[in-house]
Structure 1
Amino acid sequence: MHSYAFYNGHLSETERRLQALDNPQTASKAPAYLYPTAGHTPDTPVAEDRAKSAEETQDLSRLREDLAIELTSPMGSVAYPKNLTWTNYIDYIFCPTLCYELEYPRTKGIVWSELGYKILAVFGVIFLLTITSEEFILPVMIESALRLETVDSFSETALILAEAISMLLFPFMVTFLLVFLVIFEYVLGAFAEITCFADRHFYSDWWNSTDWLEFSREWNIPVHNFFRRHVYSASRPHIGRPMATFITFFISAIGHEIVMACITKKIRGYGFLCQMSQLPIVMLQRTKWVKDKKVLNNACFWCSMILGLSMMCSLYVLC
């Protein structure tokens, strides 16, 4: 809803500027603002070059053209305000993306065998998640919770927590991988098949990440595109790149904390602190002494991922 409202608000302002050029004496001659792409359609460097040229020459005809291009989808089939229909909005709601566009690339039709396979896979992975939780996670959590009720000293509490975390290292890692698989490969893939959504790039090779910034870009591309478009790109011209990165991480950390609060019905801040701590870790990993050691950085990434998941989930449930 946020993306739909903001993008159409931008298009409304663009249309107003285009109409205002009928009276050139009072109209703004600023170059057309190109809304950041969401990654579903190719970038338009030609339009960007024209925007720069418009800034230099203040050529009204070129400015008109740039504004008109911004009001039209890259594929040329839809233009503002023709997109303001219930059909267009409902289509956006069901497409597996968070970023609204006038038009999305489409496939020729639904491949029913692929859709059936993905639906069956969803239930299969949910079955595996249930088995993993009931056999390897719940017994440890229940036993640890009962033991924590009988101890008073900090050392005994820390020992029980450490034992629970160590026993849940791989169960929580397996759970994370299964949740990732069911969401980004099967659920989003099924919705993409139903809506004939052609952009199936929901994730990249995040398992090869060498730092947390790279991981945040690659493991959840729909959310990354949303934050890049509506938070980072919107704030960077005003506060600069470092602060825009910080604000993006800050809002993302709050979002993750809200998700954990909904799951565990507790507000503890563990997830928020863990995510915000990624920024200084990234700064350390990008120093000249560590930057080129990709194997070491990837190994550190996986160690922190395995330990961090178990520690954070255990703390949320047990504390």
Structure 2
Amino acid sequence: MTSDDVAPALEPGRQITTHDALSPEQVADVLDLLAAADEADGVHAVSEQGRLYLRHGSRAGVRHLLLTVGPRLYGYAQLEETDPVEAPAAELVVHPAQRGRGHGRALGTALLDASGKRLRVWAHGGKSAARHLAQVLGLTLFRELRQLRRPLVPLDIPEPVWPEGVTVRTFVPGQDDTAWLAVNAAAFAHHPEQGSLTQRDLDDRMAEPWFDPKGFFLAERDGKLIGFHWTKTHAAEQLGEVYVVGVSPDAQGGGLGKALTATGLRHLAAQTLPTAMLYVDADNTAAVRVYEGLGFRTHEVDLMYRTES
């Protein structure tokens, strides 16, 4: 949610349409809008998952809202209703040149109507304008996602120490998909996004230009997958990412997660990337403590707001 826009006045010609899927031309227009907002705001207005939903065709439970004035696209919102328990989740953005005209509030109101007044909305970067819009829409803060960073030069991390009987190799697409999805679901059973990934979600990510199985590490014991560290490279930003580290519940507590994290960081450093980043929920104090012990510090925060009902 990125908008400095809370004015209630209507703008002549404004229209909001809802789509289950967008045409290639509409996708291109939305991506142009997102690029302009990213440059102006210094953060991504729509998450990686949202951009995958945008680019990879129709997905059950995902809707796209386009705000236009005449032929021009001024705003975009995405509503995801895939969680069987949690309220629908949304992201919204208004073109930087078109803010202050009520478009953000109009999109937010449309999202509330579409979700039956049961809604969660991300404010990436936690900008003050987005916080104000959330307040105007009657939403309250309930989740803080931190982006942590640390330098990779020098890499002052000890060699990983593996629990007894553990071996490490890299991911083989098509061979390891099912086992990885199962361990990921178990490791993140209580995580609202990561734990629900499907084969299609994995396929979408493997189709991305950044995907490199050489940076996707699997830990096994007796031939059974028990943990993993999937790294990601953001070439344009010269950032390496601890994309996701997961350990099977029956293998937790033995230092496997720390060893996997160190392995991935060493791989990223070997790519001559100067900085590493990761995302972690602020209330996951155990993980925050581990990452801070590895030299990570908070760089920025994403906030999620929700309706009270």
TM score, norm. by length of structure 1 = 0.28
Query: Which structure would you say has the larger RCO, counting Cα contacts within 8 Å and 6 or more residues apart?
Result: 2
Bigger helix fraction? 1
TM-score (norm 2): 0.29
Larger radius of gyration: 1
